[in-house]
Amino acid sequence: MLPIVAIVGRPNVGKSTLFNKILQRRLAIVEDVPGVTRDRLYAVADWAGYNFTLVDTGGFVWEGDPLAQSVTRQAREAIEESDVVLLMLDAKTGITADDEEIAGLLRKSNKPVVVAVNKVDTYTGGMGDVSEFYRLGLGDPQAISAANGLNVGDMLDTLVTHLPKMPEQEDTDVISVGIIGRPNVGKSSLLNLLAGSERAVVSPIPGTTRDAVDIDITRNGKQFRFVDTAGLRRKSRISSGVEYYSMLRTIRAVQRCQVCLLMLDASEGLTEQDQRIAGIAHQEGKAVIIVANKWDLVDKETNTMARMKKELLSGLQFMDYALVEFISALTGSRVEKMFPLLEDVYAQYNRRITTGLVNDLLNDALVTNPPSSRGKKLRIYYMTQVSVAPPSFVLFVSDPEALHFSYIRHLENRLREAFGFQGTPIRFTVRKR
């Protein structure tokens, strides 16, 4: 679970510009108009060997219309949720009454705060004196220019010293399972059924579950740790800080689990939001079982299950390795199959193949279906598995640019045919020997 760094401040001080600069890519909309950032943006950032979730918040507005007040509430939520707060100030305007209000709020929060004084390249003071900002009582101000990247690296060096130490590795004998999906698909109902008691609040109102709840369950001598997450909603429907941070907690839960149960509504079929949620699990490299719930509501004909499974995997082509199971959390139908299925997928997620077997497969593939080099000289020397969870392989070649991605896909299919790896992604790295 990655620590959270929230960028806060009043409007138009350059929060989104700094957000993009740290990530080295343009995710936030940057305009010279106060209040442009309304929906919160988040992304995984890294600096000096530290990984953290960076959150771009809207500006604090103490008085204004209901929308502005909603943005301010979300910024307050960001402070409560964060491990470190990055306070952005404007060197051109100096300290304002709003800055003093925000600083007072941060002092009361007892959170580590890094003070970044932005726009130091746009006023006559240059990169020099920012001493007036000591008056806020939040430590040493860091003079930066988010637009030009000046001193941003030094500021990040200071920031990462405040990040909490990563927790010790969880017990490897416990299978950690994240139950993910959009609201009202039956996540809490499934959790209660698996636990054998009402451990999570169940309601027909979408979005009832706000927080992630860990529940330990032992079945046939094997321990499972289930995380029932808040349902992910479309960005346009995230109208409050509580909704937004429920989504953020869901993403953090995915990061710390090993197997994801991606719950869908079988009576509705695959939706765009289901695809987006599946993408989160895939990008995080988690094993996945697609759970089509409410199977009791589906009108069935011959081969309905096989047809629907094909449709689901066709709509999730990037996740065609996932297993699909049809259940009814309401009636309990087929739910008991989940435990042995979880054990099997977890075993595949942690499966390791010896280098000898891997290269036997590679050599056979090179003979039966040699790669196209697209006019370049290409030799594939050998392949080895370097890690598990998910299974990850390195290919050593003469020219990485000459190896087409389609051949990597071919090798992935060969690995799955030979060794299984059901339910888990497989990752490849191509290196020049």
> What's the pLDDT score for residue 253?
74
Mean pLDDT, residues 1-23 taken together: 86
289 Cβ neighbours under 8 A, 6+ residues apart: 259, 260, 261, 262, 322, 323, 324, 325, 338, 341, 342, 345, 423
pTM: 0.62
Please report, for the chain, how many H helices and E strands are present, in that order. Answer: 11, 15
Domain parsing of the chain, residue ranges: 4-160, 174-349, 355-432
Contact 79, 245 (CB under 8 A): no
The answer to which of 102-116, 200-214, 329-343 has the lowest mean pLDDT is 200-214
Residue 12 φ/ψ region, left for φ over 0, alpha for ψ in the -120 to 50 degree band, beta for the rest = left
CATH for 4-160 is 3.40.50.300
Alpha helices for 179-230 (secondary structure H):
187-195
CATH 3.90.1150.10 fits 355-432, yes or no: no
Q: How confident is the model at residue 305 (pLDDT cuts 50, 70, 90)?
A: very high
Q: How confident is the model at residue 427 (pLDDT cuts 50, 70, 90)?
A: very high
Is residue 225 within a helix (H) or strand (E), and if so which, with residue range?
A: strand 222-228
Find the Cα–Cα–Cα–Cα dihedral 165, 170, 176, 181, rounded to 10°. Answer: 0
DSSP 181: -
Q: How confident is the model at residue 138 (pLDDT cuts 50, 70, 90)?
A: very high
Q: Are strands 50-56 and 41-47 parallel, antiparallel or unpaired?
A: antiparallel
Question: Of the candidates 266, 351, 257, which has an alpha carbon nearest to the alpha carbon of residue 312?
Answer: 266
Looking at CATH, the fold of the domain delimited by 174-349 is given as: Rossmann fold (3.40.50)
> What's the pLDDT score for residue 316?
95
Alpha helices for 350-422 (secondary structure H):
355-368, 405-419
Question: Of the candidates 133, 153, 149, which has an alpha carbon nearest to the alpha carbon of residue 141?
Answer: 133
pLDDT single digits (tens) 55-109:
887 777 656 555 556 656 666 777 787 899 999 999 989 999 889 989 998 998 8
Q: Is a pLDDT exceeding 80 seen at residue 1?
A: no
Confirm whether 4-160 and 174-349 share one CATH topology.
yes
The answer to which of 43-47, 50-54, 418-422 has the lowest mean pLDDT is 43-47
The answer to which of 46-55, 127-136, 202-211, 420-429 has the lowest mean pLDDT is 202-211
pLDDT single digits (tens) 309-318:
999 999 999 9
Q: Locate the DSSP E strands across 266-416.
A: 287-293, 323-326, 380-387, 392-397
Q: How far apart are the C-alpha atoms of 287 and 285, rounded to whole Å?
A: 7
> What's the pLDDT score for residue 74?
65
Q: How far apart are the C-alpha atoms of 142 and 117, rounded to whole Å?
A: 6
Task: At 110, list the tokens.
Answer: 């007892």
> What's the pLDDT score for residue 155?
94
Q: Is a pLDDT exceeding 60 seen at residue 231?
A: no
